Amino acid sequence: MKAVARTPRRPAPKKPSHPSLKDPVGVYCRVRPLSGPDQEGCIEVINETTVQIHPPDRYRIFRNGEYRETQYSFKEVFGTLVAQKELFDVVAKPLVEDLIHGKNGLLFTYGVTGSGKTHTMTGSPGDGGLLPRCLDMIFNSIGPFQAKRFVFKLDDKNGVDVQCEVDALLERQKRDAMPVPKIPSGKRQIDPEFADMINVQDHCKVEEVDEDNVYSVFVSYIEIYNNYIYDLLEEAPFEPIKPKWNNCNTPVRNGDFIPPQSKMLREDQNHNMYVTGCTEVEVKSTEEAFEVFWRGQKKRRIAHTQLNRESSRSHGVFIIKLAQAPLDADGDNVLQEKEQITLSQLSLVDLAGSERTNRTKAEGNRLREAGNINQSLMTLRTCIEVLRENQMYGTNKMVPYRDSKLTHLFKNYFDGEGKVRMIVCVNPKAEDYEESLQVMRFAEMTQEVEVARPVDRPLCGLTPGRRFRNQAFREELSQKLELRGGPKNGETEEQSVTEMFLQNFPPLPSCELLDVNDDQTLPRLIEVLEKRHKMRQMLLKEFGKNVLAFKTALQEFDSSVVSKEHYIQGKLSEKEKTIAGQKMELERLEKKIKTLEYKIEILEKTTTIYEDDKRNLQQELESKSQKLQRQASDKRRLEARLQGVVAETAMKWEKECERRVAAKQLEMQNKLWVKDEKLKQLKAIVTEPKNEKPERPSRERDREKPVQRSVSPSPVPSAPPVRPRHRRSRSAGERWVDHKPPSNLPTETVMQPHVPHAITVAAASEKALAKCDKYMLTHQELASDGEIETKLIKGDVFKTRGGGQAVQFTEIETLKQESPTGRKRRSSPNPEPPEDAADSECTDVETRCSVALEMRAGSALGPGYQHHAQPKRRKP
């Protein structure tokens, strides 16, 4: 089972403020055929825009028998059967049209060594590449409108000047007078391979060419080798190579020459980069231009490596410059104004292939060349990444153009001086899998970079159609002259006009005087001359009338032409507006299509993810259902086994419950019997006559009573030793210090503590303690149920060794208030009401008696014993 995956989409870039002023870098992919039918491939063309790369057998990552196949999308993909013409029509033809319309362009091939970059750019015998087809299209388009040599002259600052006809003629004469270097006859003949490459025979040309302009083409050819720039067309003497050895590491050079020095890069006044001192040749035909290219190509560095028999060791840059200027108002001469000159260029770059030294086994110079090639390509990749990051995320990082001569030379293209097109050449063989993977990733990332669209060149403002109007006027004049007996072969127009006038005059008589007395010859001659004079005057008048008529007709014709031109210009402006609106609509629709395609891709990915999740969930559901079935069967077996255990246990619990219920009933009966006995005793106490004074129980009986009432009495704590002191006589009575802090609140209750013979103080003092032998502190605090709780803390006062007074606390009485409308105390969930009022009264009496007995017991226990007594109120 194969898992096909597309490369993850990066974050959508930010939309520029003027979306119509930027175009993305056009990236195309071309797949070369395999060398042999038995060779293993790793690249497959899916459709016109998608290519799929899968790892070979030794690179596959086994995951449950699956391996990943990655797809990459480009603007267009060209398979192994695509011809050079089809590639040229799609990729290079729009760049040539922009070149003739005054815009710059950059086209470069990128790929691994041996992937077909040079073949794509140059071609093969009988099948020319992109470069000869570009030259052929240029000269097919501007052929009849080319200027004479040296009318345009390039300066040393990447500019162009226009010379007058006289200066251009002097330049041509000077060049013709220069001694031509002696070249062997064999060198003068055109190379058959060269002739086959330029024999394109497509006759492709640009349809919309400004016919009122004159054009000139200049070409130059440079190479970037080891990060140095060399001029391949330089005519300076070169030093020949001295061969040292003959193996795969021997540097091979087509011309066996080494350039003396490298060239420098400069920036012109328009911030465009150019090579100073570079040879630029003016060419007038495709053959001449390609011959210049072939001369430089023979000097370019190539070498034999393990991967390619003729591997390019440098980046080749062939620059085509097109200079154009408008004709004057008469359509005869070129305007001398420099502002009207337009200079555009098309750079065709054949990059050296990236390679791994462990595969090429490079050493020495080859290793150094490979390192510089890879470094320059890495700098190109870094520049593209920084540009993409700046455009997508709005950052302002510096693009490292200057790190390499290759990126520095083409800085102005990425800054918005023309269109950029890249052809990614890939070799589908399995050995190039890793390198091809890196190339694909870089190429797909490059098409996310947007380049500013170049502006159109300004119009000259002159009436269009000047050249053909002048030609039509000359043709019409020559036709009229021919009808009137125009010039014969070898005669000028002036001679033919003179002969035509002479034929209309009467012939002159013989002017020879044979006799002195001859008086007839001179009168005849005078008469003929007078006739000729009259006829001449008549012809002059007729000629003047014709001139006036012709001027009038010419003025009418000019006015009609001007009106027609205005009408045509109005129509053209309307059509241009319509076309502009249609273009904007097309751009909007294209953007909408891209957005929809992107959404469709996202939906496809989401659908794939959901399908995978659904498949996984179905598998998980099946496994869970099987597990539940097993658990259900186990549960049934367990239930059957437990039913017997439960039945046996239920019988045991029933018996145990019966036994516990019987024991509980017996215990409750005993408690009820005890309560009945107590009630009888209390009834006896209550029903006793009131006149009889009850006998006061002794202290021993008071101690025994709470012990008998409590089921499990707690041991009585031993009292701390008390210093013996002198007791006062009982006859005098005990005096108390009633300490009531001012923060206490009046409780306004009926039961208030009353202490006889007491000294009431707000703060404890030595004088009060010296006069009394008992001490009581009234303390108030808030209970948990929100009621006020009053505590009476009591103690004995005794003297200390130092002569002071000390208090030994003996007991604490707690008085708590409860409101009948407030929160009830927690008791049994279903309290039973008393059977009758007598029982309630008995219960209240018993409670009060118990409280009194416990308080007495606490007082008798001695100092240090704390007792909490809480009087209970009868519930309504």
**Which amino acids are annotated as binding site for ATP, given as ranges?**
111-118
Tokens of 759: 């000294």
Name residues whose C-beta falls within 8 Å of residue 212's C-beta, 6 or more positions apart in sequence. Answer: 326, 327, 331, 462, 464, 465, 466, 467
Dmax (CA) of the chain: 221
Cβ-proximal residues to 632 (8 Å cutoff; 6+ apart), any chain: none
The CA-to-CA distance between both ends of the chain, in Å, stands at 88
> Under DSSP, is residue 419 helix (H, G, I), strand (E, B) or coil?
strand
Which contacts of 377-381 are long-range, i.e. CB under 8 A and separated by 24 or more positions? 377/110, 377/351, 377/352, 379/403, 379/404, 379/406, 379/407, 380/404, 380/406, 380/407, 381/442
**CA dist., res. 15 & res. 495, Å (int):** 72
Give me 652's structure tokens: 């045991």
- Phi and psi for 556 in degrees, rounded to 5? -60, -40
3-state secondary structure 680-712: HHHHHHHCCCCCCCCCCCCHHHHHHHHHHHCCC
* Spatial distance between the Cα atoms of 847 and 836, rounded to a whole number of angstroms: 17
Query: Which amino acid would we find at residue 740?
Result: K
Provide the Cα torsion 409, 415, 419, 422; round to 10°: 60
Tokens of 215: 């054009």
Q: Dihedral through CA 649, CA 655, CA 661, CA 664, nearest 10?
A: -100
Burial 102-128 (b: 16+ CB within 10 A, else e): bbbbbbbbbbbbbbbbbbbbbbeeeeb
Provide the 3-class DSSP secondary structure of residue 303: strand
Taking the CA of residue 791 as centre, how many other CA atoms within 13 Å lie in the half-sphere pointing to its CB? 11
Residue 721's contacts (CB-CB under 8 Å, 6 or more residues apart) are none
- Residue 225: CB atoms within 10 A of its CB come to 22
Element (H, E) at 252: strand 251-253
Instruction: Report the length, in residues, of the chain.
Output: 876
The DSSP secondary-structure symbol of 84 reads: H
C-beta of residue 229 within 8 angstroms of C-beta of residue 154: no
| Residue (of 450, 568, 418, 572) closest to 101 by Cα position | 418
From residue 211, how far is each of 144, 206, 336, 463, 469 by CA, in Å?
9, 12, 18, 12, 11
Q: Collapsing DSSP states into helix, strand and coil, what is residue 811?
A: strand
